[in-house]
A and B are shown apart, each in its own frame.
Chain A
Amino acid sequence: MLWYKAWLETRWRFVFLVGSIVFIWLAPLWLPSFGFRLPQGVPASRIWMGVHLGSVLLYIVAANFLAGSGVNSQTTYAATSGFHGSMLFTLSLPVSRRRLLLVRAGLGALQTSVLVAVMAGYTLLQRPGGASALQAIEYIARAIACTMAVYALSVLMACVLDEMWQFYAACFCWIGFYLLQSRFAAISWISPLRGMSLISYPLAAPMPWAPILASLALAGVFLWASVVVLHRKEY
């Protein structure tokens, strides 16, 4: 039943993200009515690159947004100072904190994966020249794997920060990571941000195992740290 609670807790957040993505996808239909038009002669590949980078950014936003609700405070969407009282009810149930966290984080990871798969699939459909089924599966799999590191860091943030700050803190962490990867080749080599990009690793390139494995390892470490934090937390 913890899955049921997690779903009820996050469904509107998930629906909001789906709505936002559809709204962005439909931009070519509604932007012209506001006077926005692409300049003549922009190559299709350039436009697609913009769409793709936008999608990558949305992977990160979706992961951070879906990680927040309820991981720490068992609240709904409202940012809270301190904890919502229903948390005491949750903690009085005969269930371990580890299970509480893993079920909630598991559902969020599933929702994130669905959104990333849909966004990645859409990006590939828009790609000039398209993509083979195998290429599409490979890319969606690596996009999900790399996004899991982003998601798990956000879960960890949600365990130590109030929801109001968790989203921003996680985003700043990844901005910091992006700056580091542009300075240090070793970090760049294992970067989840590069792993989810079709510009860093084009479809035709071999599967980038280093960022995929590093992302999964990071996700594991962040989740483990979250369990430890939650286990030690006093309410």
Chain B
Amino acid sequence: MNDIIIAADGLSKSYDGKPALRSLRLEVPRGSICGFLGRNGAGKTTTLKLLLGMLRRDAGSIRLFGEAVESEASSIAARRRLGFVSEDKELYPFMNVDQTIRFTRPFFPGWRRDLEEKYLDLFQLPRKKAVPKLSKGMRTQLMLVLAMARGAELLMMDEPTGGLDPAMTEDVLRILADLAASDGTTIFFSSHQLAEVEQICDRVCIIDQGQVVIDGVLDDLKYDYRRILLVFEGTPPRELAGLPGIDHLRQRGRTASLLAHGDMDGLVERARELGPTSVEVRPVTLKELFLDHVRGE
């Protein structure tokens, strides 16, 4: 059994000559909940569409479930093992809940009626209700039913909680966490909501301008990265930028704020040699990691 469910290497895609993805490298291990973060236009949806075969890549390789996705046939084989929830949660407006389920069911030999019943009951989705009459939250729930009842090993979701109220968001996150814990389903979802990513994800991948800027286990990242605040008597020295392990440096007046990783003791020692009047080392939040990497300075 392959332990890497999603593997992309050197993935590139341009629209009309404008690069959307630039040699993107991504690995999502089996059973993980991976949050795919980035600003609008960073390349999140493009990545998901490339993985699903909706777009053609300019360069690079994709492996899903350990198998190379090189042709439509291999993409179809992979799609048989995954579920997708699109950003707008649109389903066929000419069907009702039951018709949508009956339409989807035959495509997946491993469809589980027990799960279909379980989640329909849990979400209290009326089978006869027409899709256009469902709220966005109910459409999300229906898409989750369709994704989970097929026995998907991987759920790919584009902004799964977008447009949902806080209570519904909480329910969806809880179900996703339960699904990963109970069935070992791998969940890969894009989001803008850092709090919800922090709540349920064990991995994060931050993408900016078509490139992965951070990828790893969330706890490891929080452990590895630190914020170092230095106050100087005058303007912070230029040498700060040359210190090893610094990801981002921000200066304001006499203060320098460093986002750094690696040998923290060594770095602090080197920083002290530059003569700050005070040195403070703090843990970082996912929000800080995200903002520092996507804003840059």
Contact = CB atoms under 8 A, between A and B. Distances in A.
Interface string A62-100: 000000000000101000000011101101111111000
Interface in A20-54: none
Contacts of A76: 92-94
A8 B76 contact: no
A1 interface: yes
B28 to A, nearest CB: 17
A85 B86 contact: yes
Given A92-B52, A94-B76, A94-B77, A84 B107 contact: no
Contact of B93 (A86, A91, A93): A86
Nearest to B73: A96
Contacts of B73: 96
B106 interface: yes
A88 B90 contact: yes
A74 B53 CA distance: 17
Contacts of A85: 86-90
B172 interface: no
B99 interface: yes
Given A84-B90, A84-B93, 15 more contacts: A1-B102, A4-B102, A4-B103, A5-B95, A76-B93, A85-B88, A85-B90, A88-B86, A89-B90, A89-B143, A94-B107, A95-B76, A96-B76, A231-B72, A235-B54
Contact of A8 (B53, B77, B94): B94
A231 B106 CA distance: 23
Contacts of B104: 1, 93
Contacts of B105: 1
Nearest to B143: A89
A1 B76 contact: no
A232 B52 CA distance: 15
Contacts of B82: 92
The 8 A-B residue pairs with the shortest CB-CB distance, nearest first, are: A85-B90, A92-B84, A85-B88, A94-B80, A94-B79, A88-B86, A235-B54, A86-B90
B213 interface: no
B103 A5 contact: yes
Most chain-A CB neighbours within 10 Å: which of B86, B89, B102?
Answer: B86
B21 to A, nearest CB: 13
Most chain-A CB neighbours within 10 Å: which of B94, B106, B143?
Answer: B94
Contact of B107 (A9, A93, A97): A93
A100 to B, nearest CB: 11
A228 to B, nearest CB: 13
Interface of A: 1, 4-5, 8-9, 74, 76, 84-86, 88-89, 91-97, 231-232, 234-235
A232 B88 CA distance: 24
Q: How many interface residues does chain B have, given as a range?
A: 20 to 34
A88 B143 CA distance: 12
B272 interface: no
B91 interface: yes
A5 B100 CA distance: 9
A97 to B, nearest CB: 7
B69 to A, nearest CB: 13
B72 to A, nearest CB: 6
B113 to A, nearest CB: 16
B107 A89 contact: no
13 contacts: A5-B95, A9-B94, A85-B86, A86-B90, A86-B92, A88-B54, A88-B84, A89-B90, A92-B82, A93-B79, A95-B76, A231-B72, A235-B54
A34 B105 CA distance: 53
B91 to A, nearest CB: 5
A4 B90 CA distance: 19
Contact of B72 (A96, A234, A235): A96
A1 B52 contact: no
Nearest to A75: B93
Contact of B86 (A9, A89, A231): A89
B49 interface: yes
Contact of B91 (A1, A8, A86, A235): A86
A86 B143 CA distance: 11
Most chain-B CB neighbours within 10 Å: which of A5, A84, A88?
Answer: A88
Contacts of B103: 1, 4-5
B123 to A, nearest CB: 18
A100 B216 CA distance: 38
